[in-house]
Amino acid sequence: MSEKPDSAQRPALKNDRYLRALLKQPVDVTPVWMMRQAGRYLPEYKATRAEAGDFMSLCKNAELACEVTLQPLRRFPLDAAILFSDILTIPDAMGLGLYFETGEGPRFERPIQSAADVAKIGLPDPEGELQYVMNAVRTIRRELKGEVPLIGFSGSPWTLATYMVEGGSSKAFTKIKKMAFSEPQILHALLAKLADSVTEYLNAQIDAGAQSVMVFDTWGGVLSPRDYREFSLQYMARIVDGLKRESEGRKVPVTLFTKNGGMWLESIAATGCDAVGLDWTIDIADARARIGDKVALQGNMDPSMLYAPPARIEKEVADILAGFGSGSGHVFNLGHGIHLDVPPEHAGVFVDAVHRLSQPYHQ
């Protein structure tokens, strides 16, 4: 069992503008981080992954997971670190036999097909089957030395269920939608277990040192508005209700992100979350007009914009900052993960532009 550090011994946070922005408190400049900022666009990440042998071995080695978490912070003045892990850690710990097929992404040996399959799976112990994640959180938090906050995360119940029922990635989501529409009670039983498991998992990350948490609902946008509320949103709201919202004497903000969820912003904001993540398919000015008085907003540059010349990247940053306007409550990010073949120097242009160009909006 890893030694759990006394939170009172942790150094004070030197840069807290990310946490302050999530709580709509004043900041000097708009904070910025990037989804998948620790990843394949960095040559040093590729070297560390090669050292680990494979992706899950990298996730399960606390020292190497810490190393790749810190790599982007050494290159760029980012305002937050995010735990290096995977959204499929919970289904893997539930015993579904996760493996990675070259060129096809994650697959499960034993997908969920029946009520009996759902009944068989238990809730993983965050300090048991998932202790490697908590060890990574503790290690990263220690090595950050209070420079910036650490974000913990999980996949949403609906998104995790899509992989568990489909047996891996999907384009049409026919198996899980067949279950949703022909045997909804089976899917609801699975989603309820996942919601409880995600709640325990994120609370354990907070105990281990995560200072903010985020739920990634990658596939919520494939649902109709009614089905989104039934099969995705209500379970994320259940998680928000069950999360620890204070640790080490500070609030622990929670962000919900549904890709292609722009039509449901009001409903997402009503869950009680602190911030709503936006992809690039919605104008941030519209989003602020709709929900910006209730929650902070995170987003929302198209990740493909990082292929553009530096001047075009800067213009896009300027336009998004102008769209949000003055005041706090904006965490700048991409609308989804950074692409693997983006030049790292373009990411640097992006981060620097956010800090430099946002100053007038915070005077």
Catalytic residue, from 10, 49, 229, 290: name it. Answer: 49
Residue 336 assigned as binding residue: yes
Catalytic residue, from 163, 201, 228, 235: name it. Answer: 163
40 included as an active-site residue: yes
207 included as an active-site residue: no
Burial tier of 129 (Cβ tally within 10 Å: 0-12, 13-18, 19+): middle
Gap between the terminal Cα atoms of the chain: 48
Residue 210 assigned as binding residue: no
Residue 362 assigned as binding residue: no
Q: Which of 333, 328, 152 has the alpha carbon at shortest distance from 243?
A: 152
Catalytic residue, from 17, 36, 138, 141: name it. Answer: 36
Residue 37 assigned as binding residue: yes
17 included as an active-site residue: no
Residue 38 assigned as binding residue: yes
DSSP summary character for residue 130: T
Catalytic residue, from 86, 92, 274, 279: name it. Answer: 86
Q: Which of 204, 76, 69 has the alpha carbon at shortest distance from 141?
A: 69
The three state secondary structure string of 341-359 is: CCCHHHHHHHHHHHHHHHH
Sheet holding 254-258, edge to edge: 81-82, 150-155, 212-217, 254-258, 275-277, 296-301, 330-334
Residue 36 assigned as binding residue: yes
Residue 275 assigned as binding residue: no
Residues at the binding site are: 36-40, 86, 163, 218, 336
Residues at the binding site for substrate are: 36-40, 86, 163, 218, 336
Q: Which residues are catalytic?
A: 36, 40, 49, 86, 163
